[in-house]
Amino acid sequence: MASRAEKIAASRQQPRLTAGLVERFVSVGVLCAVVAAIVFGWLHRKESWINPEQGVGYALGIIGGSLMIALLAYPIRKRTRSAPRAAGSVGFWFRLHMFMGLMGPLAILYHSRFTWGALNSAFALGAMIVVASSGLIGRFFYSRVHRGYSDRKLEVRALKQEMDEKLAAMQASGAETGGLLERIQPFEDRAVRAGSNFWSSAAAVAGLGYETRRVHRSLLADLPRGADLRTERLRSLLGDYFEAVRRAAEFAFYDRLLRLWHLLHLPLFILLVAAAVLHIVAVHMY
């Protein structure tokens, strides 16, 4: 029979359904649903159940265009630091921004019946696809330099502290006796040096990223397999440690790319608005 202390330790090792984990599940679920809807629409694009000039098809065009314009609410809220609490947090508006950034293009794809149409329609559809793709790329850059959907930006100093905490926890789990710490601790110094400037960080994306994954697999293979709680905790801490190493090493690279992306994304969005206005005018005048 396991003692009460062992039962408590075992319960602490069980995976918890954290807010971050729920967000990941919801994000993956929404993305899968959007992909499925795109596949369905593409396979049935030649059917006549949607007419872009009237009925549901026309309404989808209005809905999609309105959602794309509503995307401006997030950058406005982000720059309004003194907004009342009732206006919602920046994280909430970012989540809504991402959701509308998926639903708007999806509605427009159905409105267009997944075809290019006339020249003005093709230009508007092409601009929408470019902006939507740019938004997905920007979401990836954002995730590498921020914590979740919040507006809290990561720092190499905070990531170093996280690595130190993981090392201390591994030491408490008995990692020091097996010489494991001596093998992984040098990665921390390398990550901090690499993350200090753009070019060393860019080199670390491939080089240090590959090396940490190789060493991680090797260390996991060396650990004894079984139901020992200490070993399982050590496996989990190893994964968290190497993830923090990679994020610290890649930080300057993705931070710079995110800044460049911001400079490019706004002109693309303005181009999309201009293309949409041209399309609406052309459709209703001719």
157 by DSSP, 3-state: which?
helix
Q: What is the DSSP letter of 87?
A: G
Look up residue 15 and give its DSSP letter. P
Residue 3 has pLDDT above 50, yes or no: no
Least trusted range by pLDDT, from 5-9, 74-78, 189-193, 245-249: 5-9
The model's pTM is 0.76
Q: What are phi and psi of 146, to 5 degrees?
A: -130, 160
Higher pLDDT pick, 79 / 35: 35
Cα gap 2→5, rounded to integer Å = 8
- Is the pLDDT assigned to residue 85 strictly greater than 80? no
Question: Can you name the residues that pair with 153 across neighbouring β-strands?
Answer: 146
Average pLDDT over residues 15-29: 70
Query: Of 16-20, 108-112, 163-167, where does the model show the most confidence?
Result: 108-112
Task: At 23, list the tokens.
Answer: 């967000």
CA distances to 77, 91, 145 from 86, rounded to whole Å, are: 12, 13, 27
Confidence of residue 149 (pLDDT cuts 50, 70, 90): low
Average pLDDT, the chain: 82
CA distances from 245 to 115, 142, 174, 194, 211 (A): 45, 18, 21, 10, 11
